[in-house]
Amino acid sequence: MSVVVINAITVPTDRAEEFEARFASRAGEVSSMPGFEAFELMKPTDGRDVFLVYTRWESAEAFQNWMSSPAFQHGHRQHDAQGPVGSASEVWMFDVIQREEGA
């Protein structure tokens, strides 16, 4: 089964649009990586200030390879050049032990 990695990023409300724009500008960076399966950027709708970045990988090794790749560095260049938009971040990793998909 797959490995899911969720990055929970706290983003101040007044910087949410900038955060979304940064992700939009790097669309496609991760999708060509070996072992990549899925990506979703989730925006809070319940008054929270935490965005969730969901990725699914065929293995933890595939995720680690992404983290150390030139594509990862390229995708995060705005963070390095302009500083982070988020004020905090937590990375959660899970093994998928059961999955169902719609028809």
The total domain count for the chain is 1
pTM, to two decimals: 0.86
Residue 101 lies in a domain: no
| 63: helix, strand or coil | helix
What's the rounded mean pLDDT across residues 6-22?
93
Which pLDDT value is given to residue 77? 62
Confidence of residue 81 (pLDDT cuts 50, 70, 90): low
What pLDDT shows up at residue 1?
83
Percentages helix, strand, coil for the chain (3-state, rounded to 5) are 30, 30, 40
Give the per-residue pLDDT at 45: 95
Whether 28 is in a domain gets the answer yes
Apex 81 CA angle, 76 and 86, nearest 5: 60
CATH number for the domain harbouring residue 27: 3.30.70.100
pLDDT exceeds cutoff 90 at 75: no
Q: Could you tell me the residue range of the domain that residue 50 belongs to?
A: 3-95
For the stretch 24-66, pLDDT in tens is 887 777 888 999 999 999 999 999 999 999 999 999 999 999 9
pLDDT of 5 reads: 97
Whether 39 is covered by a domain: the verdict is: yes
What confidence tier does 72 reach under pLDDT thresholds 50, 70, 90? confident
Give the side-chain half-sphere CA count within 13 A for 43: 11
